[in-house]
Copies of this chain bind each other. A is one copy, B any other.
Amino acid sequence: MTQRLVVIGGDAAGMSAAAQVRRLRGREELDVVVFERGRYTSYAACGLPYLVAGEVASPDDLVARSPEEHRARGVDVRTRHEVRSIDVGSRTLAVIDLDTGDERVEPYDDLLVATGATPVRPPLPGIDASGVFDLRTLPDAAEVDRALTGAGTAVVVGAGYVGLEVAEALRARGAQVVLVEQADRPMTSLDPEMSALVAEALQRLGVRAHFGATVHGFDTDDRGSVRAVDTDAGTFDSPLVVLGLGARPASELARAAGIGVGDHGGIVVDRSMRTDTDGVWAAGDCVGSFHRVARRDVVIGLGTHANRQGRVAGTNLGGGHATFEGVLGTAITRVGDLEVARTGLSVAEAAEAGLHPVAVTHRSSTAAGYMPGADEVVVRVVCQAGSGRLLGAQIVGGAGAAKRIDVFATALWNDMTVAEVAAMDLSYAPPFSPVWDPVSSAAARAAVEVAAQ
């Protein structure tokens, strides 16, 4: 009899899995059904700020593969279908067709939960007013775009990756932008001195940033539209507010079904992407992932992990063998003229993990100092006292700076010491780096620092 795989969620993890299963097993062996709440599949949520900015021409550009294209490849995608509950005993789902309101019970042999993440929306007065947006979906972007037309000002709440990218996008569209962040600095996943460089870049962008400022609520007009944001740092008038407060794993459905969810809020999976429940798998932003340096499970919502985990789940569901080997917390972004990247642990994270960090900050150049395109790059290396084991790195600088983080990520993946990193044969030519690449010289400085202690 034909088996039936059901996938909940038609984005990066779910559709990667579905496509991979289909590569390995034909339609006569296995039905693959995907229930997706929205109208789209497989779109690049990370591209939304660049769509708002006008850098990306059309929403269609962000759709990697439409529902029709998936169907043509033998994946039965049902958009506008929301799964309301999972019964792991009878291996069935309660599914509602959002267009007709019809509810049906759907059976599965194997189930992949790929429900993604839900934006954080604290219960503040007025937060549900019209004009207060998240930027998680293509419809969100269209709404922000509409609201932006005519609005000369915007307030962004939160100075993490999404908040900063949105602030830049709104500036690119000519808006006056106020950024409000509760922490005392932007990008708290960086060490404070690196955050300070990001704050300078925001200033150069013309973003009016207020750090250490708590939002108390949103004032609305009589039609229920937002008109101002109340904060510690003052009241900021604006008919447009974008929240960038992060996201939490959408694990409620799984939790309600008795599927194991960790303290981190993500569904607990093993390296094969199996949950603790027979026949149930999970992948993407809704799961906890093993952090190779912190040696514990963490929740990191990122398209790369979702894609890889989906492929791993799909390979195993398709009868192959694959494992997801964990994450490092690698991340990269652009803030105006500045590239910013990090991997592994910051000093605070390393200290919290009991790893006795030593850190150095090293200034170098993206190219040989005498070349016209040379730009400053600041590299911060975090390593373990005594052993010199690399624990993390942060890079901030001009064009060509940030992608160097991948060298540190590769070194971390292999448990290298900073002395070993400094010894490696990295590429050199004057248009691309000083004789000692910034990665090498920063690692060498860290090795000297460790030896001196």
- Residues on A close to B: CB < 8 A? 12, 44, 46-47, 50, 55-57, 61-62, 161, 292, 302-305, 307-308, 324-334, 339, 341, 343, 368, 370-372, 399-400, 402-407, 409-411, 413-414, 416, 420, 423-433, 435-437, 439
Contact A326 to B425, CB < 8 A, known contacts A370-B61, A410-B407, A430-B50: yes
Q: List 19 A-B contacts (CB under 8 A).
A: A44-B430, A47-B368, A55-B372, A56-B372, A161-B429, A292-B425, A302-B428, A303-B428, A326-B425, A328-B424, A330-B428, A333-B429, A334-B432, A343-B425, A402-B427, A402-B432, A403-B404, A406-B407, A410-B410
A399: chain B residues at CB < 8 Å are: 399
- Chain B residues, CB < 8 A from A44: 368, 370, 430, 435
Copies of this chain present: 2
Residue from the list B343, B420, B431 in contact with A427, Cβ < 8 A: B343
Q: Across the interface, which residues of B come within 8 angstroms of A302, CB to CB? A: 428
Cα distance, A157 to B261, chains bound together (Å): 67
Nearest chain B residue, comparing its CB with the CB of A327:
B425
Task: Give bound CA distance, A330 to B425, whole Å.
Answer: 6
Q: Is the CB of A426 within 8 A of B308?
A: no
Which residues of chain B have C-beta atoms less than 8 A from A12's C-beta?
435
Which of B368, B409, B425 is within 8 Å of A413, CB to CB?
Answer: B425
Q: Which residues on the B side are within 8 Å of A57 (C-beta)?
A: 370
Contacts of A328 in B (CB 8 A): 424-425
Distance in angstroms between the alpha carbons of A62 and B433 in the assembled complex = 14
